[in-house]
Amino acid sequence: MKTTPSRKRRRAAKNGHVVKENEANGEAGRWNLRLYVAGQTPRSMTAFQNLKNICEEYLKGKYHIEVIDLMENPTLARGDQILAIPTLVRKLPQPIRKIIGDLSNTERVLVGLDIQAR
């Protein structure tokens, strides 16, 4: 059975994930990103806004962001071995990449995600 976007959203919400942008549907070239935060702190909000701006500029229409609040679901940090927050995890395309911080250094984020060459 194929999962519909609304079903994916409900399942993600049930598991503690908040789907913020473009629903992932397995299309080639799709970027799946997870942003781990701890509540709605200024640093977490800055990281989300910076990530959204970068995605809109460089990955327009080809990305999916999951924001995972570790204050609500601390056990979810174990799966991606999160030690600091905020942390961005690129799940797709492979290989998995991690960037720690508020993502304010756009150049560093682009290189870290392999969007831009070093």
Q: Look up residue 89 and give its two tokens.
A: 């995890």
**Which structural domain range is residue 40 located in?**
33-63+77-118
Name the residue with higher pLDDT: 18 or 114: 114
So what's the pLDDT on residue 89?
A: 96
- Counted domains in the chain: 1
pTM: 0.74
Could you tell me if residue 94 is inside a domain?
Answer: yes
Cα separation, 2 vs 64, whole angstroms = 18
Q: pLDDT per residue over 81-103, tens digit each?
A: 999 999 999 999 999 999 999 99
Nearest to 71 by CA among 43, 48, 95, 41: 41
Could you tell me if residue 104 is inside a domain?
Answer: yes
Name the residue with higher pLDDT: 75 or 28: 75
Q: pLDDT per residue over 17-56, tens digit each?
A: 444 444 334 445 899 999 999 999 999 999 999 999 999 9
